Every structure is written in C-alpha cells, then in structure tokens.
Amino acid sequence: MKIQIVGAGPAGLYFAALMKRHDASHDITIHERNPRTATWGFGVVFSDRALDFLRADDEALYQYLMPHLETWPEITIVHDFTRIPVAGNGFSSIGRLDLLTLLYAYVERLGVKIVFDTEVTSFAQLGPCDLIVGANGVSSWIRAENEAKFGTRTDWRPNKFIWYGTSKAFNSLTLTFRNTDVGVFCAHHYRYRPDRSTFLVEAEEATWKRAGFDAMSPQDTIAYCERVFAPDLEGHPVISNNSYWRNFPAIWNEHWSFDKVVLVGDALRTAHFSIGSGTRLAMEDAVALFKAFNECGADIPAALARFQALRLPPMKSIWDAANVSAHWYEQMDELVRTLSPIEFAYSYMTRTGRVDHDEVRRRDPKLAQAYERLHPELLK
Ligand SMILES: Cc1cc2nc3c(=O)[nH]c(=O)nc-3n(C[C@H](O)[C@H](O)[C@H](O)COP(=O)(O)OP(=O)(O)OC[C@H]3O[C@@H](n4cnc5c(N)ncnc54)[C@H](O)[C@@H]3O)c2cc1C
C-alpha cells in the first residue's frame, strides 16, 4: 500500500513503524512541518499501566524506550504546604523531543521516509495513494475542514494552563496546589531528565484573571509563577519553550474516517493532560489501526470500520475518565479550601471514579487508614 501520513508525532510514527515492520513492501511517507530537532513542550509521562499496555503490545519497542525513561514509584500531592506522598502510583517520563528522536530513528531504520520542514495543507499535495492518515495533532486541519464528515465535537474547558519547564529535578511526580490571595494555582511537575522537569501551571479562569495574566508580559508571567512556587523551585528558574496560556479542548469524533482518510491520536480525540495518557492513547490508536489492516488486508473501508469497532470501547472509557479528571481540576479552589490535606489527596486519588476505597487501601494502606480515621463511617 502507498500510505501518506501527516504529522510525525507518536501516533503517526508508531503506525508507520508497525505497518512497515509487518510488511516492508508498504511505501510509507510521513510529512512533518517542524524541523527534525524542534518540538514544543518538555517531558511527557506514562503511568505504569500505560507502559504495561505498551509492553503487552510491543516488547521490542518497550525495551528500546525503557533505558531513556525516568521512573519513580509514587506521586506526591502538596496541599498548600502539606506534602502527602501517595504510594502505588508508578510513573515514567521522557522528554518529548527524546521520545520523538528515538521514534524517528526506529521508523527510518525500517525504511519509512520522514519529510521534515513540510507543512501539508491539502490532500492534493499528497498525490495518489491508498491511505491518508491524519496524525497532525490537536489542531488538525484534516479534522477541522471535515468536521461534518467526522461528526466533531469540541468542548473548550474553562481552566487556563501553561506548559513550562524548570532546571529543578523533582524526585517524584508532584501536584502542588498553592492557595494564594487571588486563588489556587496548581503545578504539575516531574523530572524527565536528570537536570530537567516539566512544570505545567494550571488555574481556574477567575483566579487567572484576578492574577492579571490576561494583560501580563511573558517575562512577568514567568516571574509570577516563580513567586507562587518559590518554595518548590528552590531558586531554579521556570523555563519557557514558546509557552503560552491555553484552554484545553476536549475533542471527540463520531466517525473516525471517510473515503481513504483516517484520524489518529490527538487529531482524533484529546484526553486531558491530568491523566497523563495522551501519548499512550496516540500509540494505542496506532496499534488498533495496524491490527485492523492486519485483519482486513488492503480492503480500506473494511479496515477503517474495523479500526473504530476495535478501538472505541477502550478509548471511550479513558476519554470519559480524562473528562472527569479535568472537571475535578476545575473545582480546585473549592477543594483546596474545604478539604483537609488527607481528604484532598484521597479526593485526588478517587477523582475519576476508577479507584475506589478498596483500591486506595491496596495502593496506599497508610492513606486509606488516615482517611478512615476522618471518615469512620467507611468502616461500618
Ligand atoms: C500541556 C500538555 C501536557 C501533556 N502532557 C502529557 C503527558 O504528560 N503525558 C502524555 O502521555 N501526554 C501528554 N500530553 C499529550 C500528548 O503530548 C499528545 O496527546 C500526544 O503527543 C499526541 O500525539 P499525536 O501523535 O496524536 O500528536 P502530536 O504529538 O501533537 O503530533 C502531531 C504532529 O503533527 C505535526 N503537524 C501538524 N500539522 C501539520 C501539517 N499541516 N503538516 C505537517 N505536519 C503537521 C505537528 O508538528 C506534530 O509534530 C500533553 C499535552 C499537552 C497539551
């Protein structure tokens, strides 16, 4: 098959790798608008569960990536100034550019062509082919220009967030909620290299406005965040990489393909970053699309229908959890102000409804016991 992929993110790269590894006669080209060495963002995380899925699907890739990951066995919730370590939540992280560079090498060794510095703006630009994969991320024009065919729904979430980094190397994945006189700010921070951490700052819109961020320069915005999180940064700077305040779009499509065009990854659907699953979902889309072609051969309509049937149930359940998690962050002011540190950490752990009390007890008996002391009715 002749396959044209738009976007060299995790979804497009991994789909290309799986197809080419299975059948070297496929002619696959990936078009990427960025240069090989440039990307946005800092590090991304995988939960242990996400890595288990990858390992089950592709032991070779898992072994290839593992030496480059930073890992830790617990997360830490900071309720204003009280630190609550929560056991039983393993995470790994990697710089986004490191991940992409590893995947570039992986697919190029297999014989996939990647054309960098090339923005694709129309299907005509791709020429004749059997399959077009829209792997061009959250702002995909392939989706935006065909919303009626895809049945696209976009729900812009109200919180504001900005994706920074810092030179401080944090010891665990930490969610720091700081209560200030204008409202609560949350930093999602984790090390992804021995000398670098992601430092994503999030706030409710009202807090963001009271802080005056709507009229603040990039330098003053950094200085403000450094002041709010000074006890955590310990003198390390907040680092920008084209960082700007955004709102998160929760995107869903009823139909994932038309003719020979299919969406994967963030172009297909977005999952709020607070559940750390965007990269994993993108790679799982690639696995499902590959499996569909494996089952259906070169019958494109059958394979694309099979892709949606295979992938919908597991994807929908994570997408729902991500939306519930986003909603929890949208109430962070009230939660921080009304809950004690233990109750807050417990609320965080159980926020998506996928972790119940028994599961908290299994993961972190100390947290469960501390919560039971505050809520003895749980033991009745
Ligand atoms: C603030 C934030 C934090 C995140 N944190 C995490 C995290 O901790 N863990 C996690 O797993 N995920 C995280 N994610 C999500 C994760 O980055 C994405 O879900 C994941 O990268 C999606 O992969 P993708 O391949 O679908 O798209 P992308 O990684 O976005 O790749 C799309 C590619 O397409 C290219 N492109 C776009 N348009 C064109 C065009 N017209 N022509 C050519 N090329 C084009 C882009 O340059 C890009 O390289 C986060 C996302 C955000 C916004």
**Mind listing the pLDDT tens digit for each residue in 145-190?**
999 999 999 999 999 999 999 999 998 899 999 999 999 999 999 9
Q: Please name each of the domains of the chain with its CATH number.
A: 2-69+94-156+248-329 (3.50.50.60)
DSSP code per residue over 334-346: HHHHHS-HHHHHH
Contact between 316 and 86 under an 8 Å Cβ cutoff? The reply is no
Residue 50 has a pLDDT of 81
- What pTM was computed for the model? 0.94
> The sheet that has 91-95: what strands, in order across it?
43-47, 91-95, 70-72
The CA radius of gyration of the chain, in Å to the nearest whole number, is 21
Per DSSP, 267 falls in state: G
Tokens coding 104: 């570039």
Measure the CA–CA gap between 45 and 279, rounded to whole angstroms: 8
Predicted pLDDT at 380: 72
Q: Give dist(CA 134, CA 146) in Å, integer.
A: 11
Q: Which residue type, as a one-letter code, is found at position 158?
A: P
Q: At how many degrees (to 10) do helices 278-296 and 48-57 cross?
A: 20
Q: What is the mean pLDDT of the chain?
A: 95
Res 293: pLDDT: 98
377 secondary structure, DSSP code:
G
Best mutation site among 15, 33, 36, 192 for ligand 1 pocket (most ligand atoms within 8 Å of CB) = 33
The alpha helices in the chain, defined as continuous H runs, are: 10-22, 48-57, 59-65, 96-110, 141-144, 147-150, 205-211, 218-228, 230-233, 278-296, 300-329, 332-338, 341-349, 357-363, 365-374
Structure tokens at 352: 């998506």
Q: Rounded to the nearest whole angstrom, what is the distance from the C-alpha of residue 159 to the centroid of ligand 1?
A: 19
Cα–Cα distance for residue pair 276/274, rounded to 1 Å: 5
Ligand 1 pocket, Cβ-based, cut-off 6 angstroms: 6-12, 31-34, 44-45, 119-120, 135-137, 141, 163, 200, 265-267, 273, 276-280, 282
Q: What pLDDT score was predicted for residue 131?
A: 98
State residue 54's pLDDT score: 84
pLDDT at 21: 95
Residue 29: CB atoms within 10 A of its CB come to 18
- Whole-number pLDDT of residue 94: 92
Atom of ligand 1 nearest to the CA of 280: 11
Ranges of the chain whose pLDDT falls below 50: none
Helix axes 96-110, 10-22, angle to 10 degrees: 20
pLDDT at 322: 95
